[in-house]
């Protein structure tokens, strides 16, 4: 899925958080949203994932305008296309690993896709463990396993390497790059040089607007 921001701005209250952001993200490639802390990377990522409506400009998916669409259209977008790896990982701590991947009760013995998804992220054999027992890096890989399981065509990732040690960082970088190689559109907000280097494109966030929004 080709996902594009066209001159997107987000204003919350009187605060212009992002402005004039245009980026084109295509299948098979990983795009980095880069800029210093506070430059609006997370905000643009959420906008591209239809979690947050832009105040100005628009988001298109395969050329069709999807920003400002009905909640039904957005639900279809999330159900059929998009997967998120956000900063709190979106993991349900008091459910087992298998439930977190499939988002329903499933018997891994009978679900080859589930086993393959966990194997892909290096969590083989962990199906029955409570998600709360996993480390931060493992939880993040679990969130990726969910995207692999659903065969998501669009993956939106917020600062995936921020809280990881060097070994986990390298693993996570290569897993996301690999997900793109398999044909998905991958968008990553990051300020990690290793992650940025692994991306096919870098989108530099615009500097903050010089003047605050006036009433
Ligand atoms: N809901 C909100 N209300 C008010 N300010 C916000 C909100 N979300 C983000 N901001 C502010 O917008 C700026 C950009 O935030 P963010 O998108 O998280 O940047 P980044 O991910 O690049 O660090 C920050 O100054 C942040 O405090
Ligand atoms: Mg952020």
Q: Is residue 92 within 8 Å of residue 99, measured between CB atoms?
A: yes
Q: Which residues pair with 44 in a beta bridge?
A: none
Ligand 1 neighbour 42 (Cβ under 6 A): yes
Alpha-carbon distance of 153 to 149, in angstroms, equals: 11
CATH fold, domain 3-90+152-204, is Rossmann fold (3.40.50)
Q: Is the pLDDT of residue 209 over 70?
A: no
Q: What is the tens place of the pLDDT at every residue in 114-129? A: 999 999 999 999 999 9
Q: Is 36 in the pocket of ligand 1 (CB under 6 A)?
A: no
Residue 203 has pLDDT above 60, yes or no: yes
Q: How is the chain split into domains, by residue range?
A: 3-90+152-204
Residue 166: pLDDT band by 50, 70, 90 thresholds?
Answer: confident
Please tell me the distance between residue 196's alpha carbon and the centre of ligand 1 in angstroms.
21
Q: Which residue intervals of the chain are DSSP H helices? A: 41-48, 71-80, 97-102, 112-120, 136-150, 166-181, 193-198
For residue 170, the SS3 value is: helix
Atom 5 of ligand 1, residue of closest alpha carbon:
12
The pLDDT assigned to 23 comes to 98
pLDDT at residue 84 greater than cutoff 80:
yes
pLDDT of the residue at 207: 80
pLDDT at 214 over 60: no
164 CA distance to ligand 1 middle (Å) = 22
Residue of the nearest CA to atom 26 in ligand 1?
38
Which residues have CB less than 5 Å away from ligand 2 (the ion)? 41-42
Tokens representing residue 76 in the block: 């279809």
Categorize the per-residue pLDDT at 136 as very low, low, confident or very high, splitting at 50, 70 and 90. confident
Confidence at 107, pLDDT banded by 50, 70, 90:
confident
- 2-40 residue pLDDT tens: 999 999 999 999 999 999 999 999 999 999 999 999 999
Output the residue whose Cα is nearest ligand 1's atom 24. Answer: 38
- For residues 154-171, average pLDDT: 89
Residue nearest to atom 12 of ligand 1 (CA): 17
* Structural contact between residues 18 and 208, judged by C-beta atoms closer than 8 angstroms: no
Determine if ligand 1 sits within 6 Å of the CB of residue 17: yes
Tell me the DSSP string of 74-106. Answer: HHHHHHHTEEEE-TTTT--TTSBHHHHHHSS--
Closest CA to 208 of 9, 12, 19, 11: 19
């Amino acid at each position: 899925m080709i996902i594009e921001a066209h001159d997107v701005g987000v204003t919350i209250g009187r605060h212009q958080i992002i402005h004039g952001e245009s980026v084109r993200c295509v299948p098979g490639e990983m795009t980095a949203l880069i800029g210093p802390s506070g430059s609006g990377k997370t905000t643009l990522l959420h906008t591209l994932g239809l979690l947050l409506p832009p105040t100005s400009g628009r988001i298109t998916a395969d050329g069709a305008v999807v920003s400002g669409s009905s909640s039904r259209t957005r639900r279809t977008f999330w159900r059929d296309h998009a997967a998120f790896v956000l900063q709190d990982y979106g993991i349900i701590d008091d459910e087992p690993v298998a439930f977190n991947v499939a988002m329903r009760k499933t018997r891994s013995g009978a679900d080859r896709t589930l086993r393959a998804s966990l194997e892909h992220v290096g969590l083989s054999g962990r199906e029955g463990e409570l998600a709360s027992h996993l480390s931060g890096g493992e939880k993040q890989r679990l969130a990726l396993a969910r995207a692999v399981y659903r065969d998501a065509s669009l993956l939106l990732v917020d600062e995936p390497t921020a809280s990881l040690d060097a070994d986990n960082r390298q693993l996570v970088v290569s897993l996301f790059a690999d997900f793109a190689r398999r044909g998905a559109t991958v968008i990553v907000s990051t300020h990690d040089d290793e992650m940025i280097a692994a991306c096919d494109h870098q989108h530099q966030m615009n500097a903050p607007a010089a003047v605050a929004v006036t009433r």
